[in-house]
């Protein structure tokens, strides 16, 4: 679905609502993005039509949350979210409203989170309705709560994460009363489900400005509750000959800045790659050491992924990056078979992205990556990852009994194949003879 067809569909739905005599506006992110000359993600509609009316008017609808007044209209394959103007009753547990009631456009806007998200746009009249001072805040690049910031964050604590997220996404500042309210209430973020926190954190790490996002999370106090381990890296010294940039914290942020990937697992892996260093730090013979920090780090990373409720795949990837980020320094000394096996690992490419960022954020010595690129360039993909000449069936055919020894034999023969010492299946079969009693 193209962005223009999304916009077209939303326009058609909006116009139909209007010609039936209802009020209807584009609301929320799309108005903000249009004023910023950015491409909106989607064009949500706010209207005084009730969910039942909306359902009756359109052929294909999905009721998302009747009690919240949200109906999805499917128009020519595009989903358009239509929300009835609503106000929200008192919040329970700082997470969700106890009830909603249907109200005027002006009242609807006042339940929204930030002024920049509180604008309404009438595309027919080409008119922006601004009840909350959103236009000025867009001009001044400010994220400001609608109404009293402390009250708004007390209602829904996730809004604190959202404030940071929008600041990062739009490259705006958080207005000082709003910022101070986050600072004051940051500890209460823990009442929010980790899935929702993860969702906002994931977004923060997906914007260009993400390094500032992490800094902002520290400044407003939220990082202490969602990733306290990262704060332990502050002030952990490193030998200046390897790390001219400074302590582990500085290095970590710089790594994120240098990272050439916006995938969440790679970003989080880069952010956590040295998370084991604070606990591993020890002075030995007058030298700073971080013995086994990659293993300690892997364990810490695992508990962080669990806390953030990451999927198994993403957890595996983050752990792999943390555990293996030091391996590149050995590539020149690896046997060809070992190097090829390393290159064959499923997550190698993701690890390499993080490891390159790690290097660029310290001494900048790229020789190991150049060595690998050079090595790969000189081989065909068949040479890098050949199908094994021999399988377990061959071993059975030779009368060997299946058991743990099988994989040892197969590994050995495959290593010979990777090294080019065994070039054909016949050679592989004759190599096997030494294993037959």
Q: What residues line the site for ligand ATP (CB under 6 A)?
A: 28-29, 41, 44, 112-113, 117, 156, 158-159
Rg (CA), the chain: 28
- Minimal distance in Å, beta carbon 84 to ligand ATP? 13
Q: With CB cut-offs between 5 and 8 Å by kind, which of ligand ATP, Mg ion, none does residue 156 bind?
A: ligand ATP
* Structure tokens that stand for 259 in this block: 């990272």
Question: How big is the chain, counted in residues?
Answer: 437
Nearest to 227 by CA among 249, 259, 255: 249
- Minimal distance in Å, beta carbon 277 to ligand ATP? 34
> Pattern of binders to Mg ion over 253-292, x per CB under 5 A?
----------------------------------------
Residue nearest to ligand ATP (CB): 29
Which of 2/381 has CB closer to Mg ion? Answer: 2
69 binds Mg ion (CB under 5 A): no
Q: With CB cut-offs between 5 and 8 Å by kind, which of Mg ion, ligand ATP, none does residue 390 bind?
A: none
Nearest to 384 by CA among 327, 328, 343, 428: 343
29 binds Mg ion (CB under 5 A): yes
- Minimal distance in Å, beta carbon 30 to Mg ion? 8
Q: Are 72 and 82 in contact (CB under 8 A)?
A: yes
Q: With CB cut-offs between 5 and 8 Å by kind, which of Mg ion, ligand ATP, none does residue 112 bind?
A: ligand ATP
Which of 1/366 has CB closer to Mg ion? Answer: 1
Q: Are 108 and 85 in contact (CB under 8 A)?
A: yes
- Minimal distance in Å, beta carbon 63 to Mg ion? 19
SS3 content of the chain, % helix, strand, coil (to 5): 55, 10, 30
Q: Are 46 and 54 in contact (CB under 8 A)?
A: no
Which of 28/69 has CB closer to ligand ATP? Answer: 28
Q: With CB cut-offs between 5 and 8 Å by kind, which of Mg ion, ligand ATP, none does residue 243 bind?
A: none
- Minimal distance in Å, beta carbon 83 to Mg ion? 11
Integer CA distances (angstroms), 29 to 10, 41, 249, in order: 14, 8, 34
SS (H, E, C) 399-428: CCCCCHHHHHHHHHHHHHHHCCCCCCHHHH
């Amino acid at each position: 679905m193209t962005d223009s067809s999304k916009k077209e569909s939303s326009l058609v739905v909006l116009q139909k609502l209007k010609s039936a005599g209802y009020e209807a506006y584009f609301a929320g992110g799309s108005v903000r993005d249009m004023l910023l000359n950015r491409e909106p993600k989607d064009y949500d509609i706010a209207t005084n039509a009730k969910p039942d009316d909306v359902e009756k008017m359109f052929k294909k609808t999905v009721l998302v949350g009747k009690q919240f007044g949200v109906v999805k209209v499917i128009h020519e394959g595009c989903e358009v979210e239509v929300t009835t103007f609503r106000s929200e009753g008192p919040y329970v547990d700082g997470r969700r409203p106890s009830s909603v009631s249907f109200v005027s456009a002006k009242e609807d806007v006042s339940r929204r989170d930030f002024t920049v998200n509180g604008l309404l746009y009438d595309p027919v009249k080409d008119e922006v309705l601004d009840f909350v001072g959103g236009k000025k805040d867009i001009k001044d690049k400010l994220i400001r709560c609608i109404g009293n910031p402390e009250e708004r964050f007390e209602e829904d604590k996730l809004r604190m994460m959202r404030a940071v997220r929008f600041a990062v996404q739009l490259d705006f500042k958080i207005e000082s009363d709003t910022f101070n309210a986050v600072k004051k209430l940051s500890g209460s973020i823990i009442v929010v489900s980790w899935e929702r926190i993860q969702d906002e954190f994931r977004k923060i790490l997906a914007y260009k400005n993400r390094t500032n996002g992490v800094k902002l999370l520290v400044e407003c106090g939220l990082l202490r509750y969602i990733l306290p381990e990262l704060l332990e890296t502050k002030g952990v010294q490193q030998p200046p000959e390897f790390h001219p940039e400074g302590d582990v914290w500085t290095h970590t942020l710089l790594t994120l800045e240098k990272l050439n990937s916006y995938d969440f697992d790679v970003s989080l892996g880069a952010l956590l790659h040295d998370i084991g260093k604070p606990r591993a730090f020890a002075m030995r013979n007058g030298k700073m050491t971080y013995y086994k920090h990659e293993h300690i780090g892997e364990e810490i990373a695992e508990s962080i992924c669990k806390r953030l409720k990451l999927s198994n795949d993403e957890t595996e990837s983050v752990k792999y990056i943390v555990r293996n980020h030091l391996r590149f320094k050995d590539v020149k000394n690896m046997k060809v078979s070992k190097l090829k096996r390393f290159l064959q690992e499923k997550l190698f490419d993701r690890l390499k992205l993080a490891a390159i960022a790690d290097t660029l954020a310290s001494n900048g010595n790229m020789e190991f990556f150049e060595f690998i690129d050079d090595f790969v360039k000189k081989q065909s993909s068949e040479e890098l990852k050949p199908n094994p000449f021999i399988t377990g069936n061959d071993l059975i055919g030779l009368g060997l009994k299946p058991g743990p020894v099988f994989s040892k034999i197969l590994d050995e023969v495959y290593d010979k194949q990777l090294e080019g010492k065994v070039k054909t299946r016949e050679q592989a079969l004759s190599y096997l003879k030494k294993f037959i009693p």
